[in-house]
Each structure stands twice: as C-alpha cells, then as structure tokens.
Amino acid sequence: MFAGVRQFNHWVDVQMAPPDKILGLSELYVKDPNPKKVNLGVGAYRDEEGKPWILPSVKEAERKLVVEGLEKDKEYVPILGSGPYNSAVQKFIFGHDEFGKKLIAEKRIVSAQTISGTGSLRVIAELLNKFYSVKKCYMSAPTWPNHLNVFRDAGVEPAAYPYYDLDTNSLDIENLLATLNKAEKGALILLHSSCHNPTGLDATSEQWDQILEVITKRELFPIVDMAYQGFATGDPIKDLGIVIHKMTKMHYENPEKLPSFALCQSFAKNMGLYGERTGSVFLVHESPEFISKITSQLKALVRPMYSSPPCHGSKIVEVILNDEKLYKSWLGDVAKITNRLNEVRSGLYDNLDHSLRNWDHLKRQKGMFSYTGLSKDEMLKLRSDFSIYGTDDGRFSLAGISNRNVKYVAEAVNAVVKK
C-alpha cells in the first residue's frame, strides 16, 4: 500500500453501470467530427437551426418575474409545491369539462408539484408500492426505457403489454387487449396520453374505449404519463380530450368501475422548461377523505426524498397560466413547435424512396418521435456511414431534422435500406 492510503474499504462489488442509451448517443454525436452529423436521439425540441429554443412566452414570463417583481424571493416552497402553481395547473388540466370541474369543486383530486415528469412517476410509484396491494405495473412494449427503471427501483415489478406491431407498423390492438384481459385484477397500468414515446403512434378514440373497457373489467389502476401535451394536435387542451376527459367522465359517472387514477404531467416539452424540472402528479379518487389521507402520505414521502421541488419553473408556469394574454401567446408557441415537427415529418416522408419500403406509417405517427421501422443493423449503419444518431430500436427524434438536412437524412435511410 502507498504511504498514507487508508487500508479500510467496505465498498462491495461496485461495477461500471451501463451508459444511458439515449444520453450515450449524444456523447458519441459530440465526439463525431463529421460536419454532416445529425443527432436524432435526444427528446428535446430544436429549432430550424438545430438550437434549443426558449419560448417567447417563457421569456416574457421571466421578464415579468424580474422587472415587475413577481418573483419576490427564492425561499423554499412547501413540500408538495407552490399553492398557486398547484391550483393553476389543476384548473389547466381538469377545468375544461364539466366532470373535471366537479372533481375540483368536490376536492377529489390531490395535486402535487414534482421534479418534472420523471419525478412525478417516481413519486406515484413509491406511493403505490407503499400503499397499494398489487406490486406489478403493465407498460407498453416498447415504452420509454426509463419507465422500467423508475418503477423497478421503486419496488414495483414491470410487466409488458403488446403495443406496436413491427410487421405492420401499426397498433397491435388485438394482442394488447388480450394481454390486459389476462392481467392480475387490480394491477397497475401505465398509459401514454398522446404522442407515445417511442413510437409516436396513439390509439384512436375507439381503441381507447376498448382499452378502458378492459381496464375497468380487470379493475386495473391507470397511471397516465403526459409528457408531450399539445404536440399531437398543436393544442394542449385538445390533447386532453382523447384519454384524460374520457377517464374523468368515466370516473365521475361510474366511480365503482374506475374508483381512481393517477396522472403524471410535465412542462419540460410544451414550455421548454427542461432544466427547470417542472411537473405535477395528480391522483383522482371518489372520496375527499381518502384524498386528504393521500395528501398527508405524499408529504411524508417527498420530505425525505427531495424535501421540496424547485421554485423558478413553477413561477414561470404560474405567470403563463394566470395571464390571459401570455397564455394565448404560449398556445401559439406550442402550435409553432407542432407545426414544425409536422413539416419535418412530411419532408422526411416525401424524400424517402417508397419503392424500397412502405413509409405510410410515418404519417400516422404524431409528436416529436417517429418509429421508422428500421432495424438495429440499419440504425448502426446510419451511425457508422452517415453520422446519423438515432436509437437502436429505429426511433428518430424529429426535432433534430430541419430543411437543411432532411434530404441528407432521407438519402441516408434510402441507402441503408437499399443494401
């Protein structure tokens, strides 16, 4: 031993952890010297110049916070977040239909500010592991890889339900329903509200009705992940209509069929508040007394975990949601993002060689991602021969494509498919 080095070592079997599949791609992209390189891995919006975009509405909200003195201090917020923030977001999510308004009025929703979408998922997973009898959660195959990590590390066993049919590039609705029909009664089920990650393929309204019918039949507990609200239709409120309004209506009219459900929400994407880590978790239940108990347990859970959430992002959200003019400006910003993503999707589709492969599924997908149908070998070929970095499962983050490189990306895809 070297002089001065302590000989006591109680660390046990520490190995190198595997790199994050998506963030690892970004590291490879940064090191690549090819001037034509394209990053299609990370799920963060980029403008036409390939740069991060601070929404004009967010800039104006921050100006108001500073210049008009709306941000008076940097004190800790309460354990479950800012009261004005929770009230504003609850109204924003549930205040657009009669059933949601009734749930708010009857105090049947617990709302808590969290550390963005990942934080809300972890909080609800920890809560359910502690107080819910069934410790298994069904997730779509495929799903966002971190879903598996979040629930597994919280003590909840992940299980899979079929979602995407690679042979037809469509929703595998028959096998999805068949699997859920065999699920343990009372099991948890994780749903994507819109712009499914990674496929970009959402269930239709009729298919959602079928899914919810099986959920109520098997008494499953739905957890809805809403990370891309607004990117499906260009309107955050319209995006609520497919699943959130359906579930709210079902719960209010037939609480015996759907006694409760949870919603995990994030402003990372639709307000561009990635680094501010601003989101919410909601739990809806028929009993206000039960909601009071859950609220107390959420406080007890969060306090030793991270004590309280960040304050700056929540203040930005408060300003935007409570200022009519700024709110309309933000809706315009979301529409602009969605329009660009739709233009990129159309541009990629138009430049692909349709004699080599059927690409019609690209037009059916929505949001930031496209599940191309490319194989792992084809994705590796894109990476090695063309410096185009997408995930091995064939997912493209469309935000990395622009008018400047869309032909290059399409021609590269044509080349690897042709081989």
Query: Which residues, other chains included, contact 304 with Cβ-Cβ below 8 Å and sequence gap of 6+?
Result: none
Say how far apart CA 417 and CA 262 lie, in whole Å. 42
Tell me which of 269, 315, 366, 381 is the catalytic residue. 269
Say how far apart CA 87 and CA 368 lie, in whole Å. 29
Ranges in the chain annotated CATH 3.40.640.10: 76-322
pLDDT, tens digit (0-9, with 9 covering 90-100), for 7-33: 678 899 999 988 777 777 888 899 999
Q: Which position has the token pair 């298919």?
A: 207
> What pLDDT shows up at residue 23?
72
pLDDT, tens digit (0-9, with 9 covering 90-100), for 130-141: 999 999 999 999
Tell me which of 172, 225, 239, 333 is the catalytic residue. 225
Cβ-contact 418, 378 below 8 angstroms: no
Distances (CA, A) of 350 to 48, 248, 343, 360: 18, 39, 10, 10
Pairing of strands 221-226, 260-266: parallel
Pairing of strands 170-171, 188-192: unpaired
> What pLDDT shows up at residue 22?
74
Per the structure block, which two tokens stand in for 409? 């990306």
CA angle 266, 393, 278 (to 5 degrees): 10
> What pLDDT shows up at residue 171?
97
Query: Which residues, other chains included, contact 182 with Cβ-Cβ below 8 Å and sequence gap of 6+?
Result: none
> What pLDDT shows up at residue 111?
97
Concerning whether 144 is annotated as a catalytic residue, the answer is: yes
Cβ-contact 240, 231 below 8 angstroms: no
Concerning whether 225 is annotated as a catalytic residue, the answer is: yes
Residue 224 carries which side chain, given as an amino acid letter? V
What pTM, to 2 d.p., does this model score? 0.94
Which CATH topology does 76-322 take?
Aspartate Aminotransferase; domain 2 (3.40.640)
pLDDT, tens digit (0-9, with 9 covering 90-100), for 151-170: 999 999 999 999 999 999 99
Pairing of strands 136-141, 188-192: parallel
For the chain, residues with pLDDT lower than 50 are 1
Ranges in the chain annotated CATH 3.90.1150.10: 20-54+330-417
Distances (CA, A) of 53 to 282, 329, 337: 28, 15, 10
Tell me which of 53, 144, 330, 359 is the catalytic residue. 144
Say how far apart CA 365 and CA 383 lie, in whole Å. 23
Say how far apart CA 65 and CA 21 lie, in whole Å. 37
CATH class of 20-54+330-417: alpha beta
In this structure, the number of other CB atoms found within 10 A of the CB of residue 112 comes to 27
